Chain A
Amino acid sequence: MQTLTDTWLIFKGQMTKSLRNPAWVIIGLMQPILYFALFGPLLQNVVKMPGFAQGTTWQQFFVPALLVQLALFGAAFVGFGIVAEWREGVIERMRVTPASRLALLLGRVLRDVVTLVVQSLVLLAVGVAFGLRAPVAGVLLAFVFIVLLAIAMASFSYAIGLVLKSEDSLAPLLNSIMLPVLLLSGILLPMTIAPTWLNDLSKINPFRYVVDGMREAFLGHYGTASVWSGLAVAVAVAIVCVAWGTRVFRHENA
């Protein structure tokens, strides 16, 4: 109960701060919208190749992938904010209060989740305007994925930001993690058209299952193995990241 109150307090503070600079919400959307407008159309004929689900439109293929990308990349860089907060002593000040350590993390994560959900809605609206058709239930399911991904990546980013305590080491580290994650997730092209070795390699990337699961949801296939394994992976990654993040907030040197 106290954790919920504390989470809400931290969320409110963080959200107030974000709303003072709403421009960042738009700037964060630029990348996926550019991908959609300038790369998406290239897929128009590609989706007819074997390896793509029968009858998929490029929008149905690409929008769920972009939503995953938005959640991954949008949340991956929130750690920069916590380095700044740490430097000002805000984290330490809060760690001396009786506030729940889980709440110190979750309050911030919740702000990121809300931001990403809003951005995803905008991206989805752009998709619909450019011919995306998807069942409502599938889209709702996709938002469950987005929330789980955002929780996982934001917690991960906060934890790693607090461990490194430096923007200069955070940026190259995140880039070197995020690029292989992106390439091996099948966001741009499905892994089913990859050579066997690459397809096998991509199976160690948890986000591959999430991308596959979301694509299924957009096609209206709900009970399939892809959806379930995608959800299971997303839940597992979120739990691990939140647990780690909380540990870092509790840790004596954070």
Chain B
Amino acid sequence: MAEHATRGDPMITARGLRRTFRSRKKTVEAVRGVDLTVGAGEIVGFLGPNGAGKTTTLRMLTTLLKPTAGEATIAGHDLLADPGAVRRRIGYVAQAGGTDSACKVGEEMVQQGRLYRLPADDAVRRAGLLRDQLDLKGLDDRLVKTLSGGQRRRLDIAMGLIHEPPLIFLDEPTTGLDPQSRANMWTHIARVRDELNTTVFLTTHYLEEADVLCDRILVIDAGMIVAEGTPDELKRRVSGDIITIEVGGDPERARHILANGAASAIGISDLDITDQTLRLTVTDGDRALLAIMRALDGADVALSAIQLHRPTLDDVFLTLTGRSLREDDQAPAKAAEPAEQPS
């Protein structure tokens, strides 16, 4: 059943996926041409603000929604030509979960396995295995509605893994969980990949989650992929790292040294001075830190403090999607737009 490809082979390849909805008189372009590639064994995070097209893309990739245009190969099968084969090879855990609160935990897992064509005893065996792996021991005879939020979410994941799919889609797997359950869920998701080499494609709006869990991140905004890379790459690409240096001596001299001699080695893209403090934007803070200290030390400029600040994914996200929450970022051009809806 589990024909897991070696890491690096594409598990998802999508080209030009589009989806338009007609609502009343308007045509809404929810997804406007998404290209993406996910390698086997990767954990890829799919990020975007609400309404960016995350869930629509996910529903297309999981056969729930027919693309208006475009093509995709999922787990080795053509999405449009053979959705049945795609369904057999993927697991999908929706945002809403998908377990029936009036059913018992054990019943749900076994039924799910049987719907994936597992023979009865295999379904029971898989259910038992997943129950142990996902900390659901002793819950077989409990009604789903009596589970805690974290337990129920782990059950959802177990249901998605029942047929040992090489690829699992998780739509906002930790939304609504308390921080402790969330961290616990991250451990479980990481284990699914590490131990079974299952490819994980997840959407999230927790940047911390993407940062901790994902090998690679795709950012979608207004129906298009606007950036992709490892969390570190993204952070570096968008804003660069910030290094602040407090010098004991003459700050202008320090600036001169850094701007001329060492600039190319350090990769400074921006430099300002406020009193005794230099603020540098650099491409790679780790390397730059060392080079700066060497250069200034070599020129006998006394340093009283040096600090590296990496942008968080929050910074990246706001820059990329242009949805800054900070008021001073409001460009005058945006003033014409109607005020935000109170929510």
Contact = CB atoms under 8 A, between A and B. Distances in A.
Given A93-B94, A93-B98, A93-B159, A98 B103 contact: no
Interface size class for chain A? 20 to 34
B62 A20 contact: no
B96 A96 contact: no
Interface in A69-98: 85, 87-90, 92-98
A44 interface: no
Nearest to A12: B111
B96 A87 contact: yes
A45 interface: no
Question: From DSSP, what is the main secondary structure of chain A's interface residues?
Answer: helix
Contact of A98 (B64, B87, B97, B99): B87
B102 A17 contact: yes
B19 to A, nearest CB: 10
Contacts of B99: 88-90, 93
A96 B101 CA distance: 19
A99 to B, nearest CB: 4
Nearest to B143: A20
Nearest to B117: A98
B115 A98 contact: yes
Contacts of A16: 103, 107
Given A9-B115, A97-B115, A89 B66 contact: no
A9 B111 contact: yes
B100 interface: yes
A252 interface: yes
B277 interface: no
Interface of A: 2, 5-6, 9, 12-13, 16-17, 20, 85, 87-90, 92-99, 252-253
Contacts of A6: 115
A94 B64 CA distance: 11
A16 B100 CA distance: 12
B115 A89 contact: no
A92 B84 CA distance: 15
* Most chain B CB within a 10 A radius of its CB, from A6, A9, A90, A93: A93
A92 B64 contact: yes
8 contacts: A12-B111, A89-B96, A93-B97, A94-B98, A94-B115, A96-B92, A97-B87, A98-B84
B97 A96 contact: no
Interface residues of B, number: 28
Contacts of B98: 88-90, 92-94
Contact of B64 (A87, A90, A95, A99): A95
B193 interface: no
A97 B103 contact: no
B115 to A, nearest CB: 4
Contacts of B90: 96
Contacts of A9: 111, 114-115
Given A89-B97, A93-B159, A253-B65, A98 B116 contact: yes
Nearest to B60: A252
A99 B96 contact: no
Nearest to B21: A253
A13 B95 CA distance: 23
Interface in B106-138: 107, 111-112, 114-117
B157 to A, nearest CB: 12
Q: Which 5 A-B pairs have the closest CB atoms?
A: A93-B98, A89-B96, A89-B98, A97-B115, A96-B92
* Most chain B CB within a 10 A radius of its CB, from A2, A20, A252: A252
A96 B103 contact: no
B63 interface: yes
B41 to A, nearest CB: 22
Nearest to B88: A98
A254 B331 CA distance: 41
A6 B115 CA distance: 7
Nearest to A9: B114
A15 to B, nearest CB: 11
A236 to B, nearest CB: 30
Nearest to B62: A96
A64 B112 CA distance: 40
A91 B84 CA distance: 17
A13 B107 contact: yes
Contacts of A17: 100, 102-103
Given A89-B97, A94-B115, A97-B115, A20 B102 contact: yes
A88 B115 contact: no
Given A96-B62, A252-B64, A90 B115 contact: no
Contact of B63 (A2, A96, A99): A96
A51 B259 CA distance: 107
A88 B96 contact: yes
A85 B100 CA distance: 7
Contacts of B66: 252
A90 B99 CA distance: 6
A81 to B, nearest CB: 10
Contacts of A99: 115
A6 B118 CA distance: 12
